[in-house]
Structure 1
């Protein structure tokens, strides 16, 4: 059952279908995994419901973030076993003297996160050989060398995971689509603090920019692929 079931109306579904939205882009032959902003500041250092989690970090999504981490972990294991690239776009620690601007105005709470909050969640943390991509803006592509890395690696398909569905995930998906990559979003591997926004953005991305699938289907497809040489 799609994540947007019960949120998107039948009338809205009909409108997208009548416009021809929702075709399957499919997988290419050379996938890479993006793990976007899965840091303690977006889930908390302990598994807690949202309203408890934000007492530690106001930017936390709480238990829905941890649920996604649990689904990213086996997906990541397949990428590692197959030798497929793994890349970590992430927000770097903020310097209040130099990192102001629009982000600080719109989300002032992000300027006060401690060092622990910027650490990667341990169970899916980077290993030697993974690509780390600090970013200042929502898209993993904007102002980063991500495209250059993907060209060097011969990537044609991006599997996009992380946080938040409506923010950094969506903006990265639309940029990847604009750059002509095939885009896959495992819907149980992305998370957002607002359930409605999460559902609506998954539905809209599936209609226009990506194939939104359960991680189990993504893993099945990946397992059938040849290991990277």
Structure 2
């Protein structure tokens, strides 16, 4: 078992007392899978750019996607609701996107909702009546009716997996925490473009907005 209670401590929490054990009653818990979409697994045509992103692709294909599949299967087995959030605009020209997704650079995203590159990767296709929220914002809570969905379903705890740790994952975690949800981020089911960015962001959000754990820690909460 990982020692999640003392890991990923920032300056603010170096000497803080250890948190309580994880309690994730299935009826009050949801797993939120954020933005693991086809577009992010497309290798750039430019070989230099492709090489720059290769560590991210390696982490996604060997760790994040397989681990998230296992996490989702576990959640379904124990009765935890699985919910997906993906970046997708309603208008083909993207007029409905938030400003953060219209700015030039990496975060410029034009992903019409029905286009193949905007879909979740095949391994994480929603099953049955599992809910998918479409967002044109970084936060899965701010730009969707997810808040209402969670409240209506009696959810108090949200397990978070997905990408990018330092962008949409972090924004969603902060929004959820501000709405008084108990949030657990599964480190081995998340990724940023660089390992350093991934780790630094986890240190920033840990203890105040969420608890950062490993998937094995989440599995250990079920009887």
TM-score (normalised: structure 1): 0.78
Separation in structure 1 between the aligned mates of residue 102 and residue 84 of structure 2, nearest angstrom: 22
- Paired position in structure 2 for 1:162: 162
Whether 1:104 and 2:102 are equivalent positions in the alignment is: yes
Extract unaligned runs of 5+ from structure 2: none
CA RMSD of aligned residues (A): 3.2
Paired position in structure 2 for 1:43: 41
Which residue does the alignment assign to 1:88? 84
Counterparts of 2:101 and 2:128, CA distance in 1: 31
CA 1:128–1:22 in structure 2 vs 1: closer, same or farther (change >3 Å)? same
* Partner residue in 1 for 2:179: 179
The offset of 1:138, in angstroms, is 0.4
**Size of the alignment, in residue pairs?**
209
Q: In 2, distance between residues paired with 1:168 and 1:21?
A: 29
Q: Cα gap change, 1:50/1:142 in structure 2, threshold over 3 Å: closer, same or farther?
A: farther
Does the CA contact (< 8 Å) of 2:84 and 2:132 recur in 1? yes
Q: d(CA) in 2 for partners of 1:99 and 1:50?
A: 33
Task: Provide the rounded CA distance (Å) in 2 between the counterparts of 1:159 and 1:112.
Answer: 25
CA shift in 2, pair 1:156/1:97, >3 Å: closer
Higher helix share: 1
In 1: Cα distance, 2:218 partner to 2:163 partner: 18
For residues 21 and 205 of structure 2, the distance between their equivalents in structure 1, rounded to whole angstroms, comes to: 12
Any residues of structure 2 matched to 1:209-228 within 5 Å, and which? 209-221=209-221, 223-224=222-223
Distance in structure 2 (CA, Å) of the matches to 1:165 and 1:138: 11
